[in-house]
């Protein structure tokens, strides 16, 4: 077990979440907008090749936040363009992120089927 | 109480009534909960690596497991409590993405399984996918343009 990496993941991941909290408290952005902003930021940083240094440094501290999801989309797109040409721009991103997207849809669907809606107390 | 006439007055009224959230405490909670989620991810990653999986697959497994836990904790109404406590700490990691799929799906279950669960799942996740995928395609096209002019962007 690499404890240094786990500590780095804790600190970097925590900091990324802290920035999100500051944005919520200071700017009154809705959570949906924050998630969109994070993913788009991740795509841009991933496309510029900056985000991979953060992943090398902090591992899951950088990949687990939604910026990591965005950088995965960008990374997939670029590597697919390199191997398959122009069509890769359209196939690469979703291909790389397919595991996370499929898992979220499938487990989300199953979880909402088995759950009982909470009755709101007045 | 006097009637509210303009938008500014309304904003003032809202500011007056909404309690000031203690930012320092919120930030601290967001930091450590978010950090713990990422650290759990890193522990899963290390376990995958010792089992001989490569890096890309390990990261995918980390995302899938975190999504799984988050979806079922949301289904059991536990995750929403964590969310209230941690704010962005549980929202920004991929757990928040799963939570944003499950909670509207649960809420609109009474509207049926197709237009209720099936459609409302994407109230928050939809925009995330739309902007994420679109911007990755744009990045791809920019990459192609720069590459054909033999400029190395990356």
**Cα A94 from Cα B129, distance rounded (Å):** 9
Output the average pLDDT for chain A: 90
Give the other-Cβ count within 10 Å of B12's Cβ.
12
**B77 lies in some domain:** yes
| DSSP label at residue A120 | P
Domain count, chain B: 1
- Among A9, A32, A112, the residue with its CB nearest the CB of B41 is A9
Q: Is the pLDDT of residue A87 over 80?
A: yes
- Among B64, B107, B136, the residue with its CB nearest the CB of A77 is B136
- Give the pLDDT of residue A122: 45
**B9 lies in some domain:** no
Q: Do A74 and B137 touch (CB under 8 A)?
A: no
Q: Report B:86-145 residues touching A (Cβ under 8 A).
A: 86-89, 91-94, 96-98, 100-102, 105-107, 109-110, 117-118, 121, 123-125, 127-129, 131-133, 135-137, 139-144
Q: What is the pLDDT of residues B71-85, one digit of tens each?
A: 999 989 899 899 889
User: Which of A62-76, A108-122, B76-90 reaches the highest mean pLDDT?
Assistant: A62-76
Q: How confident is the model at residue A31 (pLDDT cuts 50, 70, 90)?
A: confident
**Cα A16 from Cα A23, distance rounded (Å):** 11
In chain B, residues with a C-beta closer than 8 Å to the C-beta of A92 are 136, 140
If you average pLDDT over residues B87-98, what whole number do you get? 92
**B46 lies in some domain:** yes
Give the range of the structural domain holding residue B141, as residue numbers without chain letter.
38-148
Q: Do B39 and A22 touch (CB under 8 A)?
A: no
Which of A26, A64, A110, A121 is best to mutate for the B interface (most B CBs within 10 A)?
A: A64
Q: Do B139 and A47 touch (CB under 8 A)?
A: yes
Per the DSSP assignment, residues forming a β-bridge with B9 are none
Reading the block at residue B130, the tokens are: 């739309």
If you average pLDDT over residues A89-99, what whole number do you get? 92
Q: Do B87 and A65 touch (CB under 8 A)?
A: no
Q: How confident is the model at residue A78 (pLDDT cuts 50, 70, 90)?
A: very high
Q: Is the pLDDT of residue B19 over 70?
A: no
- pTM beyond 0.80: the answer is yes
**Closest by CA position to B67, among listed B44, B46, B47:** B44
**Cα A22 from Cα B142, distance rounded (Å):** 32
Q: Is the pLDDT of residue B17 over 80?
A: no
Q: Report B:33-62 residues touching A (Cβ under 8 A).
A: 33-39, 41-46, 59-62
**Cα A12 from Cα B23, distance rounded (Å):** 20
**Cα B126 from Cα B124, distance rounded (Å):** 5
Q: What is the pLDDT of residues B25-39, one digit of tens each?
A: 889 999 999 999 999
If you average pLDDT over residues A51-70, what whole number do you get? 94
> Is the CB of B4 inside 8 Å of chain A's CB atoms?
no
**B27 lies in some domain:** no
**Cα A40 from Cα A71, distance rounded (Å):** 9
Q: What is the pLDDT of residues B106-127, one digit of tens each?
A: 888 888 888 888 999 999 999 9
If you average pLDDT over residues A101-118, what whole number do you get? 87
**B1 lies in some domain:** no
* Residue in B closest to A113 by C-alpha: B106
- Burial of B106 (C-beta count, 10 Å sphere; 0-12/13-18/19+): buried
How far A122 CA sits from the closest chain B CA (Å)? 17
The ipTM value here is: 0.90
Q: How confident is the model at residue B21 (pLDDT cuts 50, 70, 90)?
A: low
Percentage of residues in chain B having pLDDT higher than 70: 90
Q: Is the pLDDT of residue B142 over 60?
A: yes
In chain A, residues with a C-beta closer than 8 Å to the C-beta of B14 are none
Output the average pLDDT for chain B: 87
Q: How confident is the model at residue A39 (pLDDT cuts 50, 70, 90)?
A: very high
**Residues A62, A72 contacting (CB under 8 angstroms):** no
């Amino acid at each position: 077990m690499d404890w240094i990496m786990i500590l780095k993941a804790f600190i970097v991941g925590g900091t990324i979440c802290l920035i999100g909290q500051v944005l919520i408290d200071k700017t009154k952005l809705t959570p949906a907008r924050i998630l969109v902003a994070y993913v788009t930021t991740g795509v841009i940083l991933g496309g510029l090749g900056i985000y991979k240094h953060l992943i090398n440094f902090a591992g899951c501290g950088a990949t687990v936040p939604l910026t990591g999801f965005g950088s995965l989309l960008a990374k997939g797109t670029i590597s697919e363009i390199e191997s398959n040409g122009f069509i890769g721009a359209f196939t690469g991103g979703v291909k790389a992120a397919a595991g996370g997207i499929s898992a979220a849809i499938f487990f989300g669907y199953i979880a909402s089927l088995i759950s009982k809606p909470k009755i709101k107390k007045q | 109480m006097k009637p509210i006439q303009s938008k500014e007055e309304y904003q003032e009224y809202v500011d007056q009534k909404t309690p000031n959230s203690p930012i320092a405490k919120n930030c601290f909670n967001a930091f450590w909960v978010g950090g713990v989620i990422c650290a759990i991810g890193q522990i899963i990653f290390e376990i995958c690596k010792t089992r001989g999986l490569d890096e890309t697959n390990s990261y995918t497994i980390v995302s899938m497991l975190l999504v799984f836990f988050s979806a079922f904790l949301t289904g059991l109404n536990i995750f929403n409590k964590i969310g209230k406590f941690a704010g962005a700490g549980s929202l920004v990691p991929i757990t928040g993405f799963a939570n944003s799929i499950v909670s509207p799906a649960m809420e609109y279950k009474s509207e049926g399984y197709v237009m209720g669960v099936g459609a409302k799942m994407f109230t928050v996740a939809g925009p995330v996918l739309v902007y994420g995928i679109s911007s990755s395609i744009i990045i791809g096209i920019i990459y192609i343009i720069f590459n054909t002019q033999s400029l190395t962007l990356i």
